[in-house]
Amino acid sequence: MRTQNLYKNYEPAVTCETKDYKCGYWFIFCSNKLLIVNKESGGKIPLFSELTALSQVLTAPLYLGKFYGQPAYCMGIADNTQAPEGMTFVDLRSTFGVLDEDSFLLASKAVQVVAWEQTHRFCGKCGSLTQDLSGERAKVCPECGFISYPRICPAVITAVFKENKILLAHARSFKGDMHSLVAGFVEAGETLEEAVEREIMEEIGLKVKNIEYWGSQPWPYPNSLMLGFTAEYESGEINVDGVEISHAQWYDVENLPELPPKVSIARKIIDWYSKGRR
């Protein structure tokens, strides 16, 4: 198992120490697109002082904690909002390599928090208007007492090894010739290990053994927690499902195809394999 602290410059919190939110970093979403400041070297998350043009709509934000030593907030704004000069709304996936890793990871958390806030204003049990639960990221219904927390959907992603080679697959949804590890959502009543076995059999046609946990990563597409595993090939021949997966092959470290971005857990596991699985 490889434990890892994803953030280097972020301290999570739910309750802000001060009531003055007109400061710090702001993760603002319009139609699920993130507002970033355009820079020659890439992009960055705007500070409140840079958001004068939007100051009238920046009310009642959600607190995320401290980011680079300053307060961090997130919120969603109206779909027809225009980005201020020098800024743009971008799809979160397109910020791979544009934002620094901490900014991307916190933006990934922020978009899920904003989506949850927007879809849980009313109780899913009785329909009453909900309230924030003090000290927690949760909504409570004042009428029936039902409590709602942000939904997280677990998914497994697995590196399969056979004679020092790694199994990589090309999904139909991938751009170009990118290959990655086999992944899929955990089903109700299923253990993580059972999900690993099922996904690899369903998508690739292989049976695996010696399944071991590697690490995890939040993944906001739409609200997943990716749980990384390794496994050893046991039996079978590669036979892709043709629905989700169009191609799969065993690769050695000297002959790897186009790979996922470095920020993803898939790439982190592949790089770990490339360095000798240490």
Contact 124, 146 (CB under 8 A): yes
- Which overall architecture, per CATH, does domain 153-274 show? Alpha-Beta Complex (3.90)
Residue 209 has a CB neighbour count (10 Å cut-off) of 10
What letter does residue 128 receive in the DSSP assignment? P
CA R_g for the chain: 21
Residue 159 has a CB neighbour count (10 Å cut-off) of 22
Question: How far separated are the first and last CA of the chain, in Å rounded?
Answer: 10
- 185 backbone dihedrals φ, ψ, rounded to 5°: -75, 150
C-alpha 255 chain-centroid distance: 28
Q: What is the pLDDT of residue 176?
A: 87
Q: What is the pLDDT of residue 7?
A: 82
Q: pLDDT for 164-182, tens place per residue? A: 999 999 999 888 899 999 9
Please give the structure tokens belonging to residue 261: 């971005």
Contact 259, 179 (CB under 8 A): yes
Residues of the chain with pLDDT under 70: 1-5, 278
- Break the chain into its structural domains and give their ranges: 10-115, 120-150, 153-274
How far from 238 is each of 16, 216, 228, 244, 257, CA to CA, in Å? 52, 26, 21, 14, 17
Please give the structure tokens belonging to residue 12: 């999570």
Q: Report the half-sphere exposure of 198 (CA within 13 A, side-chain side).
A: 13
Share above pLDDT 70 across residues of the chain, in percent, rounded to a whole number: 98
Q: pLDDT for 117-161, tens place per residue? A: 999 999 999 999 999 999 899 999 999 999 999 989 999 999 999
Q: Using alpha carbons only, what angle is made at residue 124 by residues 118 and 128, rounded to the nearest 5 degrees?
A: 85
In one-letter notation, the amino acid at residue 127 is G
How far, in Å, CA of 73 to CA of 64, rounded? 5
Question: Where does 10-115 sit in CATH, by number?
Answer: 3.90.79
Please give the structure tokens belonging to residue 70: 């300053």
How far from 31 is each of 23, 57, 105, 111, 122, CA to CA, in Å? 24, 15, 19, 10, 20
Q: Report the half-sphere exposure of 159 (CA within 13 A, side-chain side).
A: 25
Same fold, 10-115 and 153-274: yes
